[in-house]
Amino acid sequence: MRVVRGIWRILVGVKDALVLLLLLVFFGLLFAALSVSPNAKIPDSGALVLDLTGTLVEQPSQSDALALLSRAAPAAREYRLRDVIRSLDAAAGDKAVKAVVLDLDGFTGGGQATIAAAGDALDRVRRSGKPVLAFASGYTDDSYQLAAHASEVWLDPLGAVLLTGPGGARLYYKGLLDKLGITPKVYRVGEFKSAVEPYLRTDMSPEARAANQFVANALWTTWQQDVARVRPGARIAAYIEAPQSAIDAAGGDLAVAAQRAGLIDKLGDRIAFGRRVAELAGPSDDKMIGEYRAIPLENWAAAHPEKSSGDAIGVLTVAGNIVDGKAGPGTAGGDTIANLLLEALADKKLKALVVRVDSPGGSVTGSERIRTAILEARRRRIPVVVSMGSVAASGGYWVATAADKIIAERSTITGSIGVFGILPTFPGTLAKLGLSADGIKTTALSGEPDLLRGTSPTFDRLIQTGIDTTYRRFTGLVAQARHMTPAGVDRIGQGRIWDGATAQRIGLVDGFGGLEAAVAEAARLARVDPKRIRPLFIEEEPSFAAKMLESFARGPDKDQAATDAFSRVAAQPAQLLTGALADARMLAEGPAIQVRCMECPVRAVPRPADAGLARLLLERIAGW
């Protein structure tokens, strides 16, 4: 009987555990459904609130399921640019929206061209006669670039506007590699292909410095011109040139200095700002002090979906690092993107195709896989226009060579027509540890690449030949697409990066404009009435499971994170180190031959382990 009772208790325990598990799954799915499908019901009137706590991107990346489930690191929120633009355009013509509010306390930035596109949408709201109000406890370059498009820019009295411009340091690893006995074997083509310099030098080469300084100056000029256009009364140049003089003249008050320079319209805390918005949009229903009637961005976007009727202009997005095989959103998997396009072409519904590129490149074969799929559209006599986002360089430009026409932004970073490869070898490391390696060969390439003893001259020549061949292929594609000679492409290639304005002058792009301009140009080439077109976005919708995980992927609340401008600047060392670790991982795990722009301000997505290791290293450095 005791045995029977014991078995019965085990069965009851298993039953209770299964019931509990099912309940947890049920409530988890219910919570996720409510989280990922916000109620589209909106107030009769109010202020559309863009609480951008995170980054503004072309295509949000897919969250790492293991990281989310382990809670190793909360995922930073990413807002899709076209959702923001569509919502703002809908708000411009809807009487229910009395004002638009930009809450930028948690805004961590985006590409310069990406922010400019959102700013243009804010300008359209203002031209419709509706006020746009921005608030932050502190502004830096990215947040101020967006806030400048507001009709009222508010700053907390304890805040500041810190404008630093593009630039800064990057890590160079040669000294560390020497101490560890690691010898990097580098293969490259391109005088300016400085991606590998950190592994070979302790400082920036004159060629890389000249190229990067040229682009940084061009981007900074474009940034200032963009801000001056929407805030003509702001004394931007004087404030940037001599911020301390402006601060001293304001009695040491940073917020007042920014206001006197015309960068800020009003000083006030959140309660004062909320009261001002309530004057325009009405007080909140719960009558809380400093609260107003708000329309959340998620609800508004859900109530205003993308257009579903009209002649379809396909929009294919190539965002993030280009990799071989399949990949989720935010990373450009060669097979994934090619298959999506080929499926869309098989439906025979597309009148034209726009390829939106926001990528620093990556795998050669992945880039070529996407390019050949785009060529299939042209073989079907479908016009193809490439629309460049903030970055369309190296492999991103390789993809663009398949287009009939290339349209960029003046602040787009493009070019980087060059090829490189890098392999770490460890004979010196083994010697430092008292170890050695030996073996046999049956051919000259047996055991290659021999990372323990060092690669052989035969292998080195083989890889360098592959690099040279790939570069000739790259310059040949550009020459054919842009009606240049290979020698002419080589002169503007060599791995050098260019801003969009310069790229247009040297023949790498045809004109300027955003995604809307590219869609209109594609319709013109297809001889379709622009009033009857609609963009058809060729992409995979996230699965329900992915959406459920995403509901748990929100970053830390603004209440728990520092929002002032000084804290954002102070966080840059950790971000630099995390990015460096991500770059090192990407080079170690990536293909042997790459067409990637490492100089571009787009990096591999850091894993939680990268962020954790970065924090550990910073703590050790602080301890030393």
Strand, coil or helix: what is 107? strand
Whole-number Å distance between alpha carbons of 340 and 354: 14
**DSSP at 320:** S
DSSP character string of 377-446? HHHTT--EEEEEEEEEETHHHHHHTT-SEEEE-TT-EEE---EEEEEEE-HHHHHHTT-------SSTTT
Question: What is the pairing mode between strands 132-136 and 294-296?
Answer: unpaired
Closest CA to 582 of 392, 208, 331, 394: 331
Whole-number Å distance between alpha carbons of 86 and 300: 10
Closest CA to 185 of 456, 429, 416: 456
φ, ψ at 527 (rounded to 5°): 55, 50
SS (HEC) of 119-170? HHHHHHHHHCCCCEEEEECCECHHHHHHHCCCCEEEECCCCCECCCCCCCCC
- 233 DSSP β-pair partners: none
φ, ψ at 235 (rounded to 5°): -90, 70
| Amino acid sitting at position 308 | S
Q: Is residue 504 packed enough to be buried (19+ CB in 10 Å), middle (13-18) or exposed (0-12)?
A: buried
394 is an active site residue: yes
Whole-number Å distance between alpha carbons of 293 and 282: 6
- Token reading at 43: 């107030």
Whole-number Å distance between alpha carbons of 201 and 280: 58
Closest CA to 516 of 354, 300, 390, 406: 354
Catalytic site residue from 394, 411, 416, 551: 394
Catalytic site residue from 61, 87, 143, 193: 193
Strand, coil or helix: what is 4? helix
Give yes or no for a contact between 258 and 155, defined as CB atoms under 8 angstroms apart: yes
Give yes or no for a contact between 146 and 101, defined as CB atoms under 8 angstroms apart: no
Count of CB atoms situated within 10 Å of the CB of 325: 12
Give yes or no for a contact between 226 and 117, defined as CB atoms under 8 angstroms apart: no
Whole-number Å distance between alpha carbons of 242 and 222: 20
H-assigned helices in 514-571: 515-525, 544-551, 565-570
Give yes or no for a contact between 80 and 301, defined as CB atoms under 8 angstroms apart: no
Whole-number Å distance between alpha carbons of 380 and 231: 47
Sign of CA dihedral 554, 105, 605, 417: positive
Sheet holding 152-155, edge to edge: 266-267, 152-155, 132-136, 97-103, 46-51, 294-296
As annotated, the active-site residues are 193, 394
